[in-house]
Amino acid sequence: MAHGAEARLPLAAEDGEVADRMRVRRGGRLSSLDRLLLHSPPVAEGWNALLGAIRSGTTLPADLRELVILRVAVLNDAEFEWAAHAPIGQRAGLTDGQLEQLRSPDPTAGAGWTDAEAAVLAFVDASTRAVAVPDPVFAAVREHLDDRQVVELTATVAGYAMVSRFLVALEVPLPDGEVAG
């Protein structure tokens, strides 16, 4: 979690073709996360493509996608990621109560999750905490998601684990109105 008002590195310049492509995905404006990534244009380019695909090119329902992102944020203590995605999660249909439950050590202990949501949460926790996903947890996800969605779920967990680790390691602060990813 960011402790100061600035990231551990200075922000890079906002110019160049990669910055322009990132700006298009962001709706015209670069985030502080983007500006840090631009220290390495090849990494920024790949990041932009991967996270763009995860955020807008998958068949995973928006509520499940945001459930994944928010749970990864909790498990990795990535407050930037949480602050950026909680409003998106709400717009996707997650309730205040569900958001509160996501912050608990065992979010599925409370009521209010569908079977699909509970299966996805168990998958996120297993994959994020231990990397390996036990067969029963995987089987529970398979009851609700097709092959493509299982790949997309796994990529979302892995992608946002990457995002959270970058944010936390560089102590990226979240200015008002920014969206991670």
Q: Residue 69 falls within a domain, yes or no? A: yes
Q: Is 26 helix (H, G, I), strand (E, B) or coil?
A: coil
Q: Residue 25 falls within a domain, yes or no? A: no
**Separation CA 40–CA 42 (nearest Å):** 6
**Separation CA 33–CA 38 (nearest Å):** 9
* Structure confidence at residue 2 (pLDDT): 40
Average pLDDT over residues 115-134: 97
CA angle (179, 3, 14) in 5-degree steps:
45
Structure tokens at 44: 């920024």
* Structure confidence at residue 26 (pLDDT): 84
Q: 149: pLDDT confidence band, cut at 50, 70 and 90? A: very high
Count: domains in the chain: 1
Tell me the pLDDT of the chain averaged across its residues: 91
150: CATH: 1.20.1290.10
**Residue 68 belongs to domain spanning:** 62-167
Q: Residue 10 falls within a domain, yes or no? A: no
Query: What digits encode the pLDDT tens for the residues 61-77?
Result: 999 999 999 999 999 99
Average pLDDT over residues 20-42: 92
- Percentage of the chain modeled with pLDDT above 90: 80
Q: Residue 145 falls within a domain, yes or no? A: yes
